Structure 1
Amino acid sequence: MRLGLNLGYWQRYADDATETVLAAERLGYDSVWTAEAYGSDAFTPLAWYGARTSRIKLGTSVAQLSARTPAATAMTAMTLDHLTGGRLLLGVGASGPQVVEGWYGQPFAAPLARTREYVEIMRRIWRREEPVTAPGPHHPLPLPGGLGKPLKLITHPLRPDIPVYLGAEGPKNVALAAEIAQGWLPLFAFPSKIEEMYGEALRERPPGFDVAAMVVVIVTDDLRAALDGVKLMLTLYIGGMGAKGRNFHADIIGRMGFAEAAERVQSLYLSGQKEAAFRAVPDELADGISLVGPPGRIRERLEPWHRSPVTNLLVMGPRDEDSLRTVRDLVLG
């Protein structure tokens, strides 16, 4: 089991976590990850932290496909990988229709086919075997009927095989990750249910495939407050991070066995009853996808994670050096 730190994306205010990242590197954390939604982007903070560190790997969890063309993402990844000495882990994901259509103004269509095409184009760019052409239909290169011609990346990549991870929640998307990527980034993972939910999708994963699960970790004697913190996050994702008819976060909670609760949370949230939606999130769900409570309790609850297909825990929550050390000792000790 490897250990990473997931910083997520900025909330209301800018969040320079340099001291946290430096502490994580000193303590032997394998990686640090940033994210994006419709606020801070994923790449700029990694460049900032990469300039101040020397060893820790730098991951995007995730960079949204609709935010950039495949060529733009490939260029950014190549540049950052060079500047940081080959430390980039490129996590990408299709996001959902609310963000893709509402924020980027792009159609949300055929996410599986679009993801496959996107990753293949990036790999062709990095390999520099020939000028890049792609038949589409989502990202045709060159643009049909235009004046463009196939081009080859000017700069030779430091690594022509930059590791690609997919942020995926549905079984078909997870199977795609196992087929075309080096890793999978599950946002919500219930360790005792991963095999049941995704065993078939992961069956053909290659050796070394990294299942890097994001998990909220709160070391505290106040279990109630910790669970409420996880429930607050779940309320937003189940209730507000998707449209009524298409919310992948609510869908995955349903597949975990909480379909009725997910439907109730979303209905309450979308009707403006956010406090009632929060109360409708089951404690069992919040506890199952997180590691919260006193150290002894967390140590016991780590056992299902170690028995699961997860190979990498990307912890969310700890920020000071003492907390990072405690989490490290619990997970790796």
Structure 2
Amino acid sequence: MTDRTIHLPVAAQDSLDDVLDIGVRAEELGYDRAWFPETWGRDAATTLAALADRTDDIGVGTSIVNTYSRSPALVGQTAATLQEHSDGRFRLGLGPSGPAVIQGWHGESFERPLRRTREYVEIVRQVLSGEQVDYDGDLVQTRGFRLRQDAPEPAPEIDVTGMGPKAVELAGRFADGWHALMFTREGFAERLDDLRTGAELGGRDPEDVRTTFVLPCCALPDADAARNLARQHLAFYVGGMGDFYRNALARQGYEEAAHAIYDAWQDGEHERAVGTVSDDLLDALAAVGTPEQVRERYEAFASIDGLDAVAVSFPRAADGEVIDATMRALAPER
């Protein structure tokens, strides 16, 4: 059975308590894990440590932290601490993010992102083993590092995100799991072939690589209101977050729409960008509408062969009421 998880929202929440309340509510509703993406809001480590304090059973994880703003040794320390603090409920998700975030916000050169991701996975694993880390990579060098506390037992598993063929192949070859974002059902199935290729190159069983599909969801009695929130969300990501979401959408057969949304957004015509997200495209990428429609659409995604978990994410402008309505509509106990 496919796990149901949630992405805690980074936007439209007035306080940290509001974010944590969503995680507590997710545990009450029976969700398996709460992920927290680290972008331009609250940091992931503090947020997830606080959530672990307020919950008992729900898993917690980062989806994602980037591989540029922290050293790999620090990422390993953070993962070890969160695993200890949560009594073994933590899972680490990481990835390179993109130039808009890394160069624009963190002032770092977005150099060889796939190689960097591989080196981070390898170093973090060594840190979590408790052994001394002496690593001489192409991009990262670490000498003489060792945790000064006992290594976490078990060590948290490491997922990576990826959208292009080589990025997904890397996940299959080196990581414990892959997080898929901005995919259609068909696009996800195509990338699964790359994941299997990577696993085989790494001498691994593809079934051992856990797949998580991040699905934008919005369930409201007013279906049009739900769809409009999701349209705004998708237009922002395709148009305003660099070109990798645009390119991923184009690879899935929506090249004209992807470029039209991106160009409109870049020209400052945000309403036109939102209006360019057609009903067909919206339904291909999200589960939105009335609660009944959302449950039906969610099941269509959850039934994809080779998928282990669906992470319910919310439109970036969704307030607490919208988020709670959506979580209730998709609660695992139904």
Number of equivalenced pairs: 318
> What residue identity is the alignment partner of 2:171?
A
CA distance in 2, matches of 1:224, 1:308: 30
Tell me if structure 2 keeps the 8 A contact 1:170–1:252. yes
1:319 aligns with 2:315: no
1:180 aligns with 2:174: yes
CA displacement, residues 174-211 of structure 1 (integer Å, 9 cap, x when unaligned): 11111111111112121233213442333535334221
1:269 aligns with 2:272: no
Tell me if structure 1 keeps the 8 A contact 2:291–2:326. no
1:298 aligns with 2:302: no
Deviation at 1:241, TM superposition (A): 0.6
SS of 1:259 mapped into structure 2: helix
SS of 2:110 mapped into structure 1: coil
> What residue identity is the alignment partner of 1:315?
V
Tell me if structure 2 keeps the 8 A contact 1:30–1:57. yes
CA distance in 1, matches of 2:276, 2:260: 7
Residues 169 and 264 of structure 1: CA distance in aligned 2, closer, same or farther (over 3 Å): same
Worse-superposed segment, 297-306 or 83-92: 297-306
> What residue identity is the alignment partner of 1:222?
D
User: Could you tell me which residue of structure 1 aligns to residue 318 of structure 2?
Assistant: none
Worse-superposed segment, 118-127 or 191-200: 191-200
CA distance in 2, matches of 1:295, 1:274: 28
1:118 aligns with 2:120: yes
SS of 2:251 mapped into structure 1: helix
CA distance in 2, matches of 1:90, 1:161: 10
User: Could you tell me which residue of structure 2 aligns to residue 8 of structure 1?
Assistant: 9
User: Could you tell me which residue of structure 1 aligns to residue 209 of structure 2?
Assistant: 209
Query: TM-score, normalised on structure 2?
Result: 0.89
CA distance in 1, matches of 2:234, 2:81: 35
> What residue identity is the alignment partner of 2:97?
S
Residues 48 and 199 of structure 1: CA distance in aligned 2, closer, same or farther (over 3 Å): same
- How much is the aligned-residue C-alpha RMSD, in angstroms? 1.9
Worse-superposed segment, 196-205 or 151-160: 196-205
CA distance in 1, matches of 2:287, 2:148: 46
User: Could you tell me which residue of structure 2 aligns to residue 140 of structure 1?
Assistant: 141
> What residue identity is the alignment partner of 1:218?
C
User: Could you tell me which residue of structure 2 aligns to residue 158 of structure 1?
Assistant: 152
CA distance in 2, matches of 1:18, 1:11: 13
Q: Which structure 2 residue ranges, 5 or more long, are not aligned?
A: 200-204, 315-321
5 Å matches for 1:231-250? 231-242=231-242, 247-250=243-246
Q: Which structure 1 residue ranges, 5 or more long, are not aligned?
A: 143-149
User: Could you tell me which residue of structure 2 aligns to residue 310 of structure 1?
Assistant: 307
Tell me if structure 1 keeps the 8 A contact 2:32–2:59. yes
Deviation at 1:326, TM superposition (A): 2.7
